[in-house]
Chain A
Amino acid sequence: MQHVVQYLWLIPAVPLVMAGIGALLKRERRRAAAGLAIGGMAVAWVLSCVAFVASLGPDSFRATCTVKWFDLGDASVPLGWMLDPLTAIMLMMVTFLALLIFIYSLGYMAEDENFTRFFCFMSLFGAAMLGIVIANSLLLLFISWELVGLSSYLLIGFWYEKPQAAAAAKKAFITTRIGDMGLLLGMLWLYSKSGTLLFYDNGHGCLEAASLARLAAAATLGGMAVSTAISLLIFAGAVGKSGQLPLHVWLPDAMEGPTPVSALIHAATMVAAGVFLVARMYPLMSAGGHLAALEVVTWVGAITAVFAAAIAVAQNDIKRIIAYSTISQLGYMMMGLGVGGVAVGMFHLITHAFFKSLLFLGAGSVIHGCHGEQDIRKMGGLKKLMPWTFATYAAGMMALCGVPLFFSGFWSKDEILRAAWIWPSSPVPFCLGAAGAFLTAFYMMRQVSWVFFGKPAQAAGARAPAHESPGVMTIPLAVLAVFAVLAGFLGTPAWPWFQSYLNGEKVRFEPAALLASPQLNLMLLSAVVVGVAFLAGWKIYGNVAAQSLRAMDPLQKALPAFYRLLENKFFIDEFYGATVVRLNTAFAALADWLDRVLWTGAVQAVTRLTVALARFDSAIDELGVNAGFDASCDGLRGAGRGLSWLQNGRVQRYMRIAGVAFSVLALALIWGCG
């Protein structure tokens, strides 16, 4: 394992180099650009497989490798990477999904003229994400964290000529920056308290027992343990990146980017980085038995899960629905981390990555087939026109809703609910989770019946009937569908391989666990919840697709005020617009006024004074110094002119003068001395 970890840096380095080469390619070299990106990611995938196999080995749970970055005074700043089950499983997931989505992009972006730029950015993103995953130093993690933020910004704004895309890119960047500020503060605080940012360093790392004990023992404001305070600051970064309340507003807008980007970055990997961060910092979050930080994580996650699911019920843009679904599912992961620990949250992260990227790619295939249409009310009957897309989308949808036994989402969500059930602090998160599960099944049923069932709606302005997407797009869909179904079997209660792997234990096969007391009841409960939600959804929306675009949503007819609230996303954007943005604008206006009136006045007064002083100086110069200098110059010039007639270049005249002078001298000597 140790010799594998030494070369682990290659996994992010290869895509990074490919992105660098891709950036130098001309725009016309489309095949080269795609080949570089896909090749680089394929290499990263193979290396990840090697790392994964190494991590399965019995010899050690975790291996690290540390290099010195630079010296600062007598302190040195080390960077490092590590290989443990958490890293290995994330590496497998990220590289595999990235590879599939890169291939899918070949078809989806085929007609885009900035194809080369797209693959360059995607490679850059892959490199940065893999950097987060392997980092053994909060500093390296933070650097990569900001790099994924940058590439997310670049890719959301990929079609920057669209004003909404440019605005969405800015919004994403600025909103996540608020959370990143917390992460940065937490990082600095952690460094000042523990003196290192390496996670694991043979007993000296900041996530190891000695350091954790110190952090948990120290108290800060209001008697809160320092470890809790740092955890909360770090969690702020995760909130921003993972679109949790109250910083979720950027994620739905991020759907302005190309669909493969939404699938890879804003569903499967980057937004899950927040969850990964919490999982990585879990020892700190729970240090010394202080559970306040984990309670915050749980509550934020649970509320987000329901809140975003409710909004998704009233959205009409196919990608926005799945975006809100992503926020909701990220909430589940956070809740899972809070109530059940790393394995519970991470299991949902992995299954979600597969089925959510499948849903996004399916949505992309629908949009591609419908010539860019994104409004689900203008679609319908695509089941017959796009059979492959329908079949795979249905698999993803059932996995997301948690249809019992055969779909991955069921197992991972059930784990979270079970952990929430036995959570000692409060029963509310469990209720919120169950309500979220109901809403999830409901909005997915609504979306699917609108898009795929009913009669094909010939939308106004559609040029041609919808068509199935090319094989380069449907094959990744099929592969993902298989994983969306099978990934769940890695962590069933009967055979909890995933949980044991992450915790470094030996897995046991216990079919009896399925029938144990809370387990069976909860499984039945979630089956009932999903079933009822499906029925309700089908009842309300089953035949809605045949109706015209102008028809109101049935829910809107029944509960107009509530629907309006949901349709407008609880007016959160408006609320921010009225408070934060207005405050900011007012402050900017004040600063502008100060600038124009006060500072400008001061600057102009100084300017006038300086000009007056300069005039005075110049007068002295002109009249005093220059006059005297000019006069002496004239004198010199006149003398020069007077002498210069002697020097007329005629050698004979010189000689004559010399002769006359010599004669005069001779005569003077003769008579003078005589």
Chain B
Amino acid sequence: MSAPLTHYLILSALLFCIGFAGAVGRRSAILVLIGIELMLNAANLNFIAFWRYGPHPEALTGVMFVLFSIAIAAAEAAVGLALVIATYRQRRTTRMDQLDTLKG
């Protein structure tokens, strides 16, 4: 047992914050997608960490969750990329601040 749980959680929180900053701050839709992937991976790290330090580390529940989560993230990335491409074809741009037609 090397590092305690807190370290993992801090790493995960940092990762989440970096992802979040990317997701809300970048103008390019591709980079926003990458930010979202980072946030997802931070969540995955939390899953693994809590499983590993949880009451039943011998049951493989955490690993299973994360595998599912990764698969879903992959699917989500594919959908997101497809959306970006479709938007680009339609609007000739991938800048998020220009995609504001849904305003009130």
Contacts and interface: CB of A to CB of B under 8 A. Distances in A.
B55 interface: no
Contact of B25 (A643, A644, A648, A652): A652
B96 to A, nearest CB: 5
Nearest to A654: B24
Given A643-B104, A644-B104, A647-B104, A655 B99 contact: no
Contact of B23 (A643, A646, A649, A655): A655
A596 interface: no
Contact of A650 (B23, B25, B96): B96
Nearest to B103: A649
Interface in B89-104: 96-97, 99-104
B100 A652 contact: no
Interface in B16-35: 20, 23-25, 32
A656 B102 CA distance: 17
A376 B96 CA distance: 106
A651 to B, nearest CB: 7
A658 to B, nearest CB: 9
A653 to B, nearest CB: 8
B24 A655 contact: yes
B24 A646 contact: no
Q: Size range of the interface on A?
A: 10 to 19
A649 B102 CA distance: 4
Contacts of B32: 652
A659 B24 contact: yes
Contact of A652 (B23, B101, B103): B23
Interface in A215-270: none
A650 B32 CA distance: 13
Contacts of A656: 24
Contacts of A646: 104
Interface string B44-80: 0000000000000000000000000000000000000
A648 B98 CA distance: 11
A650 B100 contact: yes
B24 A649 contact: no
Given A643-B104, A644-B104, A649 B99 contact: yes
A649 B25 contact: no
Contacts of B97: 650, 652
Contacts of B20: 655, 659
Contacts of B104: 643-648
A603 B58 CA distance: 100
B38 to A, nearest CB: 14
Contacts of A652: 23-25, 32, 96-97
B29 to A, nearest CB: 10
Contacts of A648: 100, 103-104
A647 B96 CA distance: 15
A646 B103 CA distance: 8
A51 B29 CA distance: 99
Contacts of A651: 96, 99
Contacts of A650: 96-97, 99-100, 103
A120 to B, nearest CB: 68
A647 B103 contact: yes
A333 B64 CA distance: 120
Interface in A64-119: none
Contacts of B25: 652
A648 B101 CA distance: 8
A640 to B, nearest CB: 8
A648 B97 CA distance: 10
Contacts of B102: 647, 649
B22 to A, nearest CB: 10
B90 to A, nearest CB: 15
A650 to B, nearest CB: 5
Contacts of A644: 103-104
A659 B101 CA distance: 23
Interface in A625-674: 643-653, 655-656, 659
A646 B101 CA distance: 13
A656 to B, nearest CB: 5
A648 to B, nearest CB: 4
A647 B32 CA distance: 20
Contacts of A653: 24
Nearest to B26: A652
Nearest to A656: B24
Contacts of B100: 648-650
Contact of B101 (A643, A645, A649, A655): A649
A643 B103 CA distance: 11
A298 to B, nearest CB: 100
A613 to B, nearest CB: 45
Contacts of A647: 102-104
Contacts of A645: 104
B50 to A, nearest CB: 17
B44 to A, nearest CB: 19
B82 to A, nearest CB: 17
A650 B99 CA distance: 7
A653 B104 CA distance: 14
A649 B32 CA distance: 16
B39 to A, nearest CB: 10
A599 B99 CA distance: 71
B62 to A, nearest CB: 23
7 contacts: A643-B104, A645-B104, A648-B104, A651-B99, A652-B24, A652-B97, A655-B20
Given A644-B103, A650-B99, 14 more contacts: A643-B104, A647-B102, A647-B104, A648-B100, A648-B104, A649-B103, A650-B96, A650-B100, A650-B103, A652-B32, A653-B24, A655-B20, A659-B20, A659-B24
- 8 cross-chain pairs, A with B, having the tightest CB-CB distances, nearest first: A649-B100, A647-B104, A649-B103, A644-B104, A649-B102, A648-B103, A656-B24, A652-B24
Interface of A: 643-653, 655-656, 659
Interface of B: 20, 23-25, 32, 96-97, 99-104
